[in-house]
């Protein structure tokens, strides 16, 4: 019996509530499966869960958690779960320790290698799969052509629709080739907003012709090339929707544009329905029903169990009352089960509905156990085994090579680079979670400590983002001292922070050589044209800080090029190349 008939039979055997459960992906709290969560999974028979940083301690723990979740589903007679995550790379990642955290999209684009885009995604997919994670909410296919975008920025491959389309397609192929379902987001494009949809409902007023030329280009290509899933944006597009409805709730967009016009028949997922763009304007529960009416197959509710249960109950009531046809539910479940089968969760057609044990998160625990046993016996694990482990030497080397190639020299004068081996004041603004998408960012090493490791005589001053204005006076006093010969400043989204802009401008006014390194959005550099050198690093992860320090100190060449324009002086593609 072929797979389609098996899936149809499976759907016929399911109750309405079981089918509705398959349409929900739910977040939870904790790093182990609690009895409450076990009961929730059994009672509501949900389609999947989503991991956040709150669910992560170590890779071994994540592997065990994935295994336990799948075993809880199997013990309840359920289908295997989607175990999903936002692991974009760079600044948006839930697992940052024990894995090869790849540079983010804009850094990848700055490095300029299509092969690296594919390989970084494939490696990330392999590592996620070894941890029992089978669905990644990546890649971001938004074209970031608005310097004031507060939520996308370096999560995008840049401002060129064609480049975003090319790199995005390679990224989702890499994930899917590793057996992880990929998700193109945020349809039909979140790159030209000045509002964060986590906080309010953005509106994009471009006409349809402009959208066809820019925003829709990457999504058209992804659909044509076989993307597994598409995530909707909580954004209102008047050119696409006659009523003031965000895309997630718009039948005209999700069904009319995405399904009918663009011909997409894969899985459509909502972004989190607790984001304020939805929750404050429509209500999470009411909006969950509206999203399914619009054409969504999966409803994502990341935080609150009560809302998760109420949304499932509301959707069931909508079907029983005749508001939504049960055949509409069946269509979504059919797509979801077909994708689970495609990604190996349901076994072969003959085994449809059975859990495949090699996908339950046990893999990483077994590999670590074997490596520990070998180490105790004074033996080395074979390269093939080592390379399968998350954070393996081979995977980390790939991340390092990409990161080093991404660092972009935008401007250099006064002979300041490479830095001289003399007293250098290094002021860096510490990374902080600027949006809910960032979730949390642990305090990391500073740019100053990375430069000191390169042999520079450093006074290291790392400043929390919220304390820049408070500490500015003390920092200026130190900068004015005669022993300080040169200054390096690492900014963190300074374009949105008047205190950072004022501090850097005051430092420039001292007349000493100043290097400004943008440690997240490169648009910061537009604020400081007088600087002796301008460097784009694209992120503040430890690897990026080390790469930036190496380039500034002259240990490696600058190779990167800008994926976005920094005013008229520095167009996309600009980058000064140096030799080490």
161: CB partners within 8 A, 6+ apart: 143, 213, 214, 215, 217, 218
pLDDT for 294 beyond 60 = yes
pLDDT for 355 beyond 50 = no
pLDDT for 379 beyond 80 = no
Provide the annotated active-site residues.
198, 271
Grouping H, G, I as helix, E, B as strand and the rest as coil, residue 208 is helix
Amino acid 324: pLDDT: 98
316: CB partners within 8 A, 6+ apart: 16, 17, 20
Query: Do residues 286 and 315 touch, judged by C-beta distance below 8 A?
Result: no
Amino acid 163: pLDDT: 98
Neighbours of 357 (CB within 10 A): 12
Confidence of residue 388 (pLDDT cuts 50, 70, 90): low
CATH number of 407-553: 3.40.50.1700
Beta bridge partners of 220: none
Decide the pairing of beta strands 48-51 and 24-27: parallel
Rounded to an integer, what distance in angstroms lies between the CA atom of residue 574 and that of residue 551? 17
In this structure, of 378-382, 441-445, 468-472, the range with the lowest mean pLDDT score is 378-382
Amino acid 499: pLDDT: 97
pLDDT for 150 beyond 80 = no
Residue 244, Cβ density class (10 Å: 0-12 exposed, 13-18 middle, ≥19 buried)? exposed
pLDDT for 363 beyond 60 = no
> What is the token pair recorded at 517?
């390194």
In this structure, of 31-40, 152-161, 328-337, 345-354, the range with the lowest mean pLDDT score is 345-354
Check if 3-359 and 407-553 are the same fold: no
Residues 6-34: tens digit of each pLDDT: 999 999 999 999 999 999 999 999 999 99
Decide the pairing of beta strands 408-412 and 533-536: antiparallel
3-359 belongs to which CATH class?
alpha beta
pLDDT for 458 beyond 60 = yes
Phi-psi region of 179 (alpha: psi -120 to 50; beta: other; left: phi over 0): left
> What is the token pair recorded at 7?
């899936």
Amino acid 244: pLDDT: 86
Amino acid 210: pLDDT: 92
Grouping H, G, I as helix, E, B as strand and the rest as coil, residue 248 is helix
Residue 34, Cβ density class (10 Å: 0-12 exposed, 13-18 middle, ≥19 buried)? exposed
Q: Which stretches does DSSP call E strand in 391-506?
A: 408-412, 424-429, 458-463, 486-491
Residue 487, Cβ density class (10 Å: 0-12 exposed, 13-18 middle, ≥19 buried)? buried
Amino acid 197: pLDDT: 53
Residues 193-239: tens digit of each pLDDT: 765 555 557 788 889 999 999 999 999 999 999 999 999 998 889 99
**What value does the mean pLDDT take over residues 326-344?**
97
> Measuring CA to CA, which residue among 39, 31, 132 is closest to residue 84?
132
**Every domain of the chain and the residues it spans:** 3-359, 365-394, 407-553
Rounded to an integer, what distance in angstroms lies between the CA atom of residue 47 and that of residue 556? 47
Higher pLDDT among residues 4 and 184, named by residue? 184
**What value does the mean pLDDT take over residues 101-115?**
98
Rounded to an integer, what distance in angstroms lies between the CA atom of residue 68 and that of residue 304? 21
């Amino acid at each position: 019996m072929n797979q389609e008939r098996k899936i149809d039979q499976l759907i016929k055997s399911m109750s309405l509530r079981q089918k509705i459960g398959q349409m929900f992906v739910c977040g939870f709290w904790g790093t182990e499966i609690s009895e409450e969560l076990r009961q929730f999974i059994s009672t509501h028979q949900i389609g999947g869960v989503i991991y956040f940083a709150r669910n992560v301690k170590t890779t071994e723990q994540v592997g065990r958690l994935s295994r336990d979740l799948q075993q809880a589903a199997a013990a309840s007679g359920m289908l295997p779960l989607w175990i999903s995550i936002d692991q974009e790379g760079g600044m948006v990642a839930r697992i940052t320790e024990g894995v090869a955290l790849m540079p983010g999209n804009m850094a990848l684009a700055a490095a300029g290698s299509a092969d690296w885009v594919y390989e970084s995604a494939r490696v990330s997919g392999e590592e996620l799969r070894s941890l029992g994670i089978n669905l990644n909410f990546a890649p971001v296919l938004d074209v970031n052509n608005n310097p004031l975008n507060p939520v996308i920025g370096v999560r995008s491959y840049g401002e060129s629709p064609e480049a975003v389309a090319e790199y995005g397609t390679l990224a989702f192929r890499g994930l899917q080739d590793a057996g992880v379902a990929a998700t193109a987001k945020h349809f039909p494009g979140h790159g030209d907003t000045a509002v964060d949809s986590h906080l309010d409902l953005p509106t994009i007023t471009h006409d349809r012709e402009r959208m066809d030329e820019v925003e829709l280009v990457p999504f058209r290509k992804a659909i044509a090339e076989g993307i597994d899933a598409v995530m909707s944006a909580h954004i209102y597009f008047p050119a696409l929707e006659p009523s003031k409805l965000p895309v997630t709730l718009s039948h005209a967009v999700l069904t009319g544009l995405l399904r009918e016009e663009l011909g997409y028949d894969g899985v459509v997922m909502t972004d989190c329905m607790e984001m304020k763009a939805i929750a404050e304007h429509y209500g999470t529960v009411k909006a969950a029903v509206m999203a399914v009416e619009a054409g969504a197959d999966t409803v994502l509710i990341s935080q609150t169990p009560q809302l998760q249960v109420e949304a499932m109950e509301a959707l069931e009531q909508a079907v029983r009352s005749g508001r939504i046809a049960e055949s509409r539910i069946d269509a979504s479940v059919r797509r979801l089960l077909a994708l689970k089968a495609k990604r190996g969760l349901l076994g072969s057609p003959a085994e449809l509905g059975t859990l495949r044990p090699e996908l339950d998160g046990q893999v990483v625990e077994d590999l670590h156990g074997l490596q520990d046993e070998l180490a105790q016996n004074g033996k080395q694990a074979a390269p093939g085994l080592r390379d399968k482990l998350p954070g393996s030497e081979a995977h980390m080397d790939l991340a390092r090579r990409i990161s080093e190639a991404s660092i972009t020299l935008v401007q250099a004068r006064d002979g300041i680079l490479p830095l001289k081996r003399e007293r250098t004041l290094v002021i860096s603004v510490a990374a902080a979670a600027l949006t809910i998408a960032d979730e949390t960012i642990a305090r990391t090493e500073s740019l100053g400590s990375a430069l000191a490791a390169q042999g520079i005589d450093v006074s290291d001053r790392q400043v929390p983002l919220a304390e820049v204005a408070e500490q500015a006076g003390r920092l200026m006093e130190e900068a004015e001292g005669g022993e300080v010969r040169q200054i390096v400043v690492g900014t963190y989204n300074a374009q949105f922070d008047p205190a950072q802009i004022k501090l850097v401008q005051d430092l420039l006014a001292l007349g000493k050589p100043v290097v400004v390194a943008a440690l997240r959005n490169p648009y910061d550099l537009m604020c400081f044209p007088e600087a002796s050198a301008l460097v784009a690093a694209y992120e503040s992860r430890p690897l990026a800080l080390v790469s930036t320090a190496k380039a500034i100190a002259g240990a490696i060449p600058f190779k990167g090029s800008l994926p976005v324009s920094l005013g008229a002086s520095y167009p996309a593609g600009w980058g000064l190349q140096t030799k080490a």
